[in-house]
Structure formats: C-alpha cells, structure tokens
Chains A and B, each alone.
Chain A
Amino acid sequence: MRRELPLAIAFIAGVIFFIAYFIPHPPFNRFENWFSDWFAIVAAFAIWLGALNLMKISFIKVIRKKSDWLHALLIIISFVIIVVIGFYEGYRGLHANPPFSFRDPGTAFDWLYVNVYSTLSATMFALLAFFVASASYRAFRARNLEATLLLLAAFFVMLGRVPIGDVITGWLPRAYQMSQWASWIMNVLNTAGQRAIMIGIALGLVSTSLRIILGLERSYIGGD
C-alpha cells in the first residue's frame, strides 16, 4: 500500500485535472481551486516540519559544538527574536485601541522587516551585479564562431539597453543606433530562442507529467 496509494492518488488527481481543464461545467470548474486550497493547507502545515527540522539540526550543532555551530546559534537567535516579537506585537495589537496588526508600520516587527530583512534581501540581490561582471569576464571568450556571435550579441544588448549605446552611435541614422540593434536582438532573436526553448520545455513537461500520472515515473516516492 505504501507504493500503491501515492500512485493511485497521482493517477486520480492527474486524470481529474486533465478532464477539468476541458469541462467548464460544475463541479469540474471548481476542482482546480479545491486542489490548490488543499495543497496550500498541506504546504502550510509542512512548513512546521521544515522549521522544526532546522531548529533540531541547529540545536544539535550548538550543543555538540560541531563545525559552524556559531552560524547555527545565529539561526536559533534570529528565529527566536522574530517569533517572540511577532507574537508580542500581535498580542499588543489585539488589545490596543484601535487594534492593529503585528505587521503594521510602527511595530517592532515592521522595523525588523524594513531594516533587517528587506536590506539583507536587497544586498543578496545586489550581488548579482558583481557576479554578472565576473561571469561575463570569464565566460564571454571568442573561442569559436558561436561564442563570438554570443559575445557580439552581449556587446550590443549591454550597451544598447542603456543610453550610452546611443551616445556612442549617435552619428548613425536612428534605425542603426545601438538601442535599435539591442531592441531587434531582444524582439526577434531572443524571442525566437525563448519560444523554441519554451516549446521544448512544454513538451518535456507533458511527457514527464504523463509518466507520473501513469505511474511510470516513481522517483518521488523513492523509486521502485
């Protein structure tokens, strides 16, 4: 039953979703919402699994002073601070007049969100600027004809997407300035390439989904 039950659920759910896509008549039009609601509920409960697992591993690392135990301690402290402040502000908000949410501007939770979480997230995202530069420096080499074409496309798009490209080619007629070339590469070449990849991906998705529905693909339950 351990294998058969998940396979049966996958088959039934897959067939229902397939049918529901083509049949708008109730109750088929509601299946998508029902299943997505169920998935959201299960995922919400599953978050506890992950959080408890994270805390368990972190505690063990700290207690046994394993490698990186300081990082584990930081995880525990951050987790506790956010949870405690969230509950505290929530309690305060419930009993305030007028009541407010723990997320409202002015609360300690909001301060942590704006000044710690948002800043850290933006910092991580900002790393992309540096990594794009180092990846470009390392990877865009004219090794062969295809690589050279890629290099030229990167050259045109990078300069054409900012005003400097038009400053450099300002002496050319408007239709031949760098921004127009960048636009042409993005609208024609890039769109064609994206569409081709997306068609291939879509076909792969259908094939994989069919294999899962028919029970041929069993990796998600640990294999055969």
Chain B
Amino acid sequence: MKGTWLLQMAWRDSRRNPSRLLLFLASVILGIAALVSIYSVGENLNRQIEEQAATLLGADQEWITNRPFTPDEHQVADSLAEDISEEWSFASMVMFPKNEGTRLTQIRALAGQYPYYGQLETTPENAQAFLQSGKKALVDHNLLLQFDVQVGDSVRVGEVTFEIAGALQQAPGQTGIVATVAPIVYIPLQYLEETGLNQKGSRISYRYFLKLNKPEEADQLAEKLSDHWTHNEISIRTIKDQKESTGRMFKNLTNFLGLAGFVALLLGCIGVASSVHLYIREKFNAIAVLRCLGVTSWQAFLIFLIQIALMGLVGSMIGAALGTILQGLLPKLIADFVPFELKSTLSPFAILQGILLGVCVSVLFSLSSLLSIRKIAPLNVFRIQAEDKPGDNDPLRWWVYGGIVLFIVLFSYLQLGDWPTAFSFSIGVMVSFLLLAGVAALLVRLVKRYFPSNWGFVARQGLANLYRPNNQTLTMIVALGLGTMLISTLVNSRNVLMNEITASGGTDGNRPNMILFDIQDNQLEDLKKHISDAGLRTLQSVPIVNMRLEKVNGLTYTKAKEDSTESIRSGLFSREYRVTYRDSLLSSEKLAAGEWIGNYTPSTGLIPVSMEEEFARRNGLKLNDTLVFNVQGMPVTTQLRSLREVDWRGMQTNFILLFPKGILEKAPKFHVIATYLPTLEESARFQQYLVKNFPNISIVDLNLILSTLDKVTEKIGFVVRFMALFSLLSGLIVLLGAIISSKYQRVKESVLLRTIGASRSQILWINGLEYFYLGAMSSITGIGLSLIAGYLLAKFSFEAKMVVQFWPLAAVFLGITAITVIIGLINSREVVTKSPLEVLRQENG
C-alpha cells in the first residue's frame, strides 16, 4: 500500500506544476533527442555497412600494388576467380574541349565487368556499358556541372579525346568529400597507352578486382596469399576488411557526434539540477507539513524521487520520439561523408538506450537536491532553522557527486572505447564546466565588487537584479557560455586552419601557387621556355628519381619482417621513394643532426644522404646507417649522414630523402616545376596550354586546393556546428527555465516598482537590461574561454599561429546577447502590460 501511496502522492503533487514540469522536460528532451538521433544513425550505419559492404568494395577481393601485376600473379588470380577486372588509377589533368576547362582528376582506366556487387551509379543509368564500346568516358557529375559540360560532350585525357557517355554519380566506396578533392574519370583501360599518360615515373596504382570461385573463402585466401607473397608488395582487401575500415571510420564519426550530443545532455542536466533545486525549495513547507502528518523522511524523499524519475521518463520518451524524427535529418548532414545512401529506419535499441539514459541522468542530477528533503524537519512549518540549512553537511552528497563523475567517465568510455581517452574527455568536460562556472562566478563577483553606483537607476536596477535571492545567474551564464564557447572555438579553429593554409600558399610572386609534376626529361627545357615566354618565373625546378630500398645495414625486407624485435620497420622496403638531389637546403628545412653534404665526390666515402628526422625516427633509422637503394635496377650504397626538420605545410617541394649532387644526374627521372601565376585568367590559360601540349603533366593549383579545402572544412564545420547548436539550444532552455521559475519574484518586484511610480517603459528597460547583462556576461565568458581553447588547439594540436578574427566573434556575442534579451522580454511582457493588482491576483491564483 505504501508503495502505491507514494506513487499516488507523486502524481497528485505534480499535477499543479505544469510550467515547472515543462522546463524540466525540455532540459531532458533536447539532449536525449540529440543522442537518440545519433545512436539511431549509428545503428543504421552499422547495419547498412554490414548489408552493403560487398557493394562498397564491388568485388570479393581487391589486389592493390604500385607496379604492374606479373604474369605469375595474373595466373594465380585467374585460378582463384571466375572473373577479374583490372584498373589502373592515377592523378592527371583533363580538359573539356567545349570551353577548354582543365582540372586535376583521378583517372581510373578500367577493363572488365567491375563492380561485381552494386554498380557505378550513372546518369543515364547503365552508362558504364558504354565503356566497352569505344572511346567513352564516365565523368564525375560535379565536374560536369562545374565546367558546364553535358553527356555527349567530350573530355580530353592525355592525347585521347573521349566522348562523355555518362555522369558518374557514385563509384563503389566513394564519398562526396573525396569526390570534391579528387573527382573521378573512368576510361577504358585499352586506351590508356594511347593517352600517353603511362610513362616512367607515373604514380599509378594497379588493381585487380576478383570475383572468386569460392567467395566464402575470400578471407582465408587473402591470408594465405599475403603469407606467400611476403615481398610482392601486393595489398589484398576483402569485404570483411572493407566492412571493418568503413565501420571504424564511422565509429569515429558517430562517437564524435555522440560526445557532442552528450555535452548537450550534460548542459540539460545542469538545467535539470537547477530547476529541481528550486522546485524542492518551493516544496519546503509542504514537505514539513507532510512530516507533521506522519510522513517519514525517506517517504518524503521517495515521493519526489518518483516524481523526478517519472518526469525524466516522460521527457526521455518525448526526446526519443523527437530524436527518431531528427535522425531523418542527420543522414543529410553527413551525406558527403558516407559512401552509400544512408536510409533512416526506426532503431528500438537506440530509443531504449536514450530513454534509460534520460531517466538515469534526471535522477542522478536531481539527487543532490532530493537528498536535502530528508533533512527537512517538521518544525519547519513554524520557521526555517537558521543554524543549519537542510543538506548542508550531508555526506551522501559526496557520493552523489562521485556518482555523477563516474557516470560521465563510464559514458565517455562507452562512446570512445578506451579508458585513457575516456578519462581525458571526462576531465576535459568537467574542467570546462568548472572553468565556466569559475569565470562566471568571478565576473559576477567583480560586478558586485565594482558595482557602478553612479549609473542611472534603470541601468543599476537591471544589474542588481542579477543578484536577487534565488537567482540563477551563475547557472545561466554557464549554460549559455558553454554553447557560446563551443561555437566560438569552432570559428577560431577554422580561422587558424584556413590562415595556415593561405599563409603557406602565399600571394606574392616569390612563393609558388602552382606546381607541375610528371614532367619528363625531354619536356623540361621546352616547358621552362614556355614559362619564360609567358612572362612567368620558374621558382623551383626539381628532378625526381624513383628508387626502392633494398637493405639497411645488411638487413633485407625478409629478415626485417621475420624478426619482430628488429627496430627497422619492414614497411621501409615496400614503398617507392621519390628522391631528389641538390647541394643546399631549402628555407623549409633545418639541419637537425649530422652533417649536410651537398656535393658528392669519391673522396667523401659512401654516398651521403639526408633523411627527414620524423620519418627516420618512426622507422628505426639513425645516423650513419648504411642504406642500399635500387635505382632502376642498379644498387646504390649510401650512408645516412644527416637528419632534417621539414616544414611540410609550405607550397614547396619537400622530400623525405635527399641525395647530394654528383650521383643521380644521369638516372632516369622526371621533374617538378613550381611557378607563380598572378591572376586566375593567366592560370586558366596556362593550364589549357599545358593540357594541350603536355597532356601527361599534372597541375596542382593552390587556388583550387584552397577552395576545395574551404569546401571540405566548411562541410565538416557545418556538421560540428550543427551539434554545437544542440548545446546552445540546451543552454537557451536552461535560460528559459530560469526566467520562468523566477517569474513570480520578478512580478513582485515589478509590481512594487509600478506601485511606487515606475513607468512601463522603465520596467521594460530594467528587464531588458537584466537580460542584456546576462547575455553579455555569458557571451564574454564563452568567447573568452574559446580564445584560450583556440590558443591551446593552435599551439599543441595544429602547431600553427593563433588567429583571431574580430567580426565572427562579435557576431557570436551579438547573437547570443540578442537571443537572451528577446527570450527574456517575451517572457516578461505580462509583468509590464498588466495592472499590478491583476498580476498579483493572477500569480496568487
């Protein structure tokens, strides 16, 4: 009976407090909605990755290498597969003859029926079939849009002009983001030779796509082949590998989004804690009466615990419902990052998680205030005991705080999957909240201490209102400040990154904004002449020789792979090195150790080479190691004589490995040239000339890179800002809650002022200023902390200079302040427009 009675009392007491309930609910709803939508998207992603993994790869196995497959390897493939497709892919310029537009693209020269699972999505449909019938190409649809080119027009790839058979909407495993950076052009493999782009030094990836005779054995076969081909440098991927790597990528994304949603929920919890605290204070007398009538302290505690838990349940259910609807939006938000069309379906598990979480946080964050109920004495019906406020010295409170910290850590671990990161995130969150609270408290204290007594009455009264009894100034500043801080940090970080990219690119004539590569030996002089004739300068001209590493201190690849204790990494031997030779260091390089020798003579001893210091350290190499390189079939013995610190961010041709002059001049090589083009028109003309006359040369245009990076960071930034918005909305709900809960007090104050003669406009100004101060203090707190966060991120994470742009931050300040004032005034209009007596009657029921 007692249990039923407690439930009855919880229900009875909650009926007459709709406004309190709404605010409590709203605090929970938003955070849970964010999390349920993210969990649902995560569930859908995992399920669809599972379902669509085959179409992501497009085959049972993908073999990748950086040199053509040998006949033996082809034979092995043939014996295992019922069908094989071959693809050669590389970066190259294309030109659209219609308007002579040029662009660096990813050329995929394909032969075979690939993809075996899924399809190349094209417009018109099945345009891929046209690749089998002549010189036809499929071009990324964004490229066609960009250059105003249609299906049926042509595209020039190297020396060959292809007819555009279709617009490529989606290739297996491709995301929108990647397509922005490297749009794809498919051509038939049989015409690649004719394009003239397959030259010595071209960086081509060679792929086999296998439809296996026994697809169920794909993974075991892959393992066997990898063991057998230890030195063949063939990487084999299966559908399982594709699933895992795609899953990992999205796990990171959903984890990040989940954490952002969690921050919004925590903010909502502040609202919950704050509103419950006030709620219980208002219930003080009623609880004392119940105690007089015979209710025990634990019964009283349970009545309100049940109330809070039920409200949390209702709020969570509404939040879960809203989240389920919202999850229809999130796929659109992350569409560019997903390699397939993400469909939204109901996720019961996500909904259940959200509801459980909502109830838990509602109870957990209310416990501290609820515990004080136990200390309310029946004698309080006569007076509040002055010497000891209930709950002040309750040791159970510390358990509650400990429980909250534990909850944050555990939840972070569930999101992030490892303890160190979970602890770091938890500490970061708690420190942020504490910092916010600390700075807010300091601001409030400073204003109080240096109260501007010489201001006019209205301005002073607005400021003094922030200190009224039971004020929630601190809570509101923290709530709004956190949302402000998140958004401002995003703005600052983006500025730092873009500035870093722009600054390293440079706009003056001494820093290159275009790099040409894959220049053959016999093209170099003609090209330099053209550059000169065009009134431009060759700022850098760098020869590049390809080579492979055969031995390190006598150690070969096989020995390095077998000996797990060996510090030299086996990966050193399987990559191709693009090396240059010169007699001096660039401005982007600094000698970190050893001796730089720019010119080789036989008396120097072994050929002295220089390596980038971080690369050497990572791969277990040190000074004076002996390195034997295979330079186009010829072994060349060298000694590591120096290590360099390289600044990779500049638009300069930096290298991991450097040879001195005097050795490689006669080796087969290609060249890279860096130049500067002052205007977009000159750049376009120059590129057109190059593509027509030197179609094998690829061009990296800084303007293009900057605009592409801008698009990419904007897309990423948009997703992040969207999640930060949840935090801001949570903060606004806390604000709304605080405003409504203090309404009666403000009514009384305003009524008193109006009774003694204050005009409506004065009351309006006082209220407006109160919210202005609140919004301003919140924004300043948030922006101030974001500048610190931005500085730390710039210094330690991006290793870049901190850049502060005034106007975006000013916009954030004005936006937050304006929203605070608007919300505050909307809720205060009754106080101003109605007569004092009417208002008092209404408030007293």
Specify whether A and B are partners: no
